[in-house]
Amino acid sequence: MTGLLELHRERVQPGWVDYNNHLNDAYYMVIFSNATTTLMEHIGLGEKDRLAKGHSLFTLEVHLNYLREIKGGMETRVETQILGHDQKRLHVFHFLYAEDSPELRATNEQMLVNIDMSGPKSAPFLPEVLAKIEAIEAGQVGLPRPANAGRAIGLPRK
């Protein structure tokens, strides 16, 4: 088992924090979005690949859970798990940490779709991209499903 992918690290910028020196909620998503861009590069859908092959990933849905604060200036790291895929879609889950602490700070679940940019329209993954996705999934077999995966927002009914 290979485990979670650790592809992305990013330092919290001064303009990303509020008056308490806490990472503003919107910038958690910026970090997660940048982690997805790094994942895209890793599987062959980065900017150069998009120009050469005409395919990219678009985001269909996201869910973000804020668990603990992150302070200004901290370096963040994101670990990524692929929860599943089909011909056109990729279901990913990101775990956000501060510095090298094992304490989880936030999670982000995303459903992404492969896009043929000539349309643009959804399209099956290119074979070489699909092979990379399947190799990552094979290396993550046996990882537990994240506790926050598949959660929905709502109040309990009375």
**pLDDT beyond 50 at 1:** no
Contact partners, residue 98, CB within 8 Å, separation at least 6: 70, 71, 74, 75, 76, 105
CA angle 138, 143, 145 (to 5 degrees): 115
Average pLDDT over residues 85-91: 98
CATH code 2.60.40.10 for 5-139: no
Apex 56 CA angle, 58 and 132, nearest 5:
110
Extract the tokens encoding 133.
């996705």
- Looking from the CA of 102 toward its CB, the CA atoms found within 13 Å total 0
Q: What is the pLDDT of residues 121-140, one digit of tens each?
A: 999 999 999 999 999 999 99
Q: Please tell me the predicted confidence (pLDDT) of residue 103.
A: 97
The domain segmentation of the chain, as residue ranges, is 5-139
Write down the pTM of the prediction.
0.94
- Provide CB contacts within 8 A for 151, sequence distance 6+: 63, 65, 109
Question: Tell me: the pLDDT tens digits for 19-76?
Answer: 999 999 999 999 999 999 999 999 999 999 999 999 999 999 999 999 999 999 999 9
The token duo for 140 is 């993550």
